[in-house]
Amino acid sequence: MFSLGSGFQTREFSFRGHLSHEPPPHPVPLPLRGGERVPEGRVRGGSWSQCARKRRKFSSWTEANLVIPTTMKTQSISRREFLKTSATAALAATTSDNLLAAGEYGGNRIPFGLQLYSVRNECAKDLDGTVAAVAKMGYKAVEFAGYCGRDAKALRKLLDDVGLRCCGTHIGLDTLLGENLPKTVEFNQTLGNKFLIVPSLPEKYTKTHQGWLEAADVFSELADKVKPHGMRVGYHNHNIEFTPIDGEVPWDTFFNRAKKEVVIQFDTGNGAAVGGDPVVYLKKFPGRVASVHVKPYSKTKPKALIGDDEHPWKEIFHICETTAGVEWYIIEYESDAFDGSKASPSTRGLSVASLRLIPDVARLKACLPCGLPKCSG
């Protein structure tokens, strides 16, 4: 085991989910789900109870015949047992290939992965059980935003044991600089990951137009250094990239300057919340969008799920599968999809891993340009 800068090995899943020495990825609250963020005390909590066997069919999901747990008993069980139960319920309805294999468009097949930040609380309490449940739901890969104190060998074994791949990691820029770079490369080679995604930058790069140009040059140099190792460096958008500086949007400044080997990870929810229209920006740099964070956004429905939000998903997926160059769809939520304090006794405490991820994947699939009926929600 080695250390890649402060907090690299011991970094835990938390509300912010980023290295302690990094600037926070969201300097100000963002309306990522329509204008609301869950208070810190809310996302750190969560209770567990047993998922009953009652289920109802997802009416619009005819092809996969997906079923969703809808009621709960008050008797509590272990987290590992709950995760096993919820995942098994998903598999009872459909095979993983039918559930999550991307619809074909133009001969392309783009698989789905899950950003583990979506289930950060579950990961902090039981990483093995949570990752196993994610695999049983049909996901093909996971993206890390922290390692829960595990080294690369342990993480690789965990993924191999459940048949998952690593489709990316979110890391601090400092882990790619100087003597840290070889260690980061070694870590990710062991993990089987080729996408090194930086989700935030130091302020010296983000306050001025010149700063963004300098950041692009740094990324270009890094792209050259990791290319011989079969890896790619990329940048992920949050809330600062679409506010013009000196008449130009920083996102454009950065990617117009950076070499084409510097890849894009576009977050649909983050972008839409601050004027970065996914339809516009997924088209802007053809072939350079290595992955997309599939995240809902709605001005009017803060708790909107994927498919019930305001994104034009069919158009977004069409662009992803024709010109953008996308290799992975990565589903991500930043907050719970329901308010536990207002939930009924039968649903209060239901884990995001069973309530949220299963039905939303169905909505995603229904919006793909593959001839399936659009879900009615």
Dump pLDDT digits (tens) for 273-285.
Answer: 999 999 999 999 9
Torsion, Cα of 174, 178, 183, 186 (10° steps): 100
Q: Identify the helix (H) or strand (E) that includes residue 209.
A: helix 209-226
Q: What CATH number is given for 40-367 in this structure?
A: 3.20.20.150
Average pLDDT, the chain: 71
Q: What is the pLDDT of residue 342?
A: 37
- Rounded Cα distance between 262 and 259, Å, is 6
pLDDT range class, residue 314, cuts 50, 70, 90: confident
- The model's pTM is 0.68
Q: For residue 324, what are the CA distances in angstroms to 4, 136, 187, 270?
A: 32, 29, 29, 18
Looking at per-residue pLDDT, the higher value among 165 and 314 belongs to: 165
The answer, yes or no, to whether residue 63 has pLDDT greater than 60, is no
- Rounded Cα distance between 318 and 279, Å, is 10
Nearest residue to 259 via CA among 215, 291, 194: 215
Residue 276 has which token pair? Answer: 């970065």
Residue-wise pLDDT for 245-283, tens only, equals: 999 999 999 999 999 999 999 999 999 999 999 999 999
- Rounded Cα distance between 190 and 1, Å, is 12
The answer, yes or no, to whether residue 241 has pLDDT greater than 90, is yes
Which string of DSSP letters, residue by residue, matches 309-339?
Answer: SS--HHHHHHHIIIII---EEEE--SS-SS-
User: By percentage, how much of the chain surpasses pLDDT 90?
Assistant: 46
Instruction: Please state the domain extents for the chain.
Output: 40-367
- Rounded Cα distance between 346 and 70, Å, is 8
The listed range with the strongest mean pLDDT (27-41, 87-101, 267-281) is 267-281
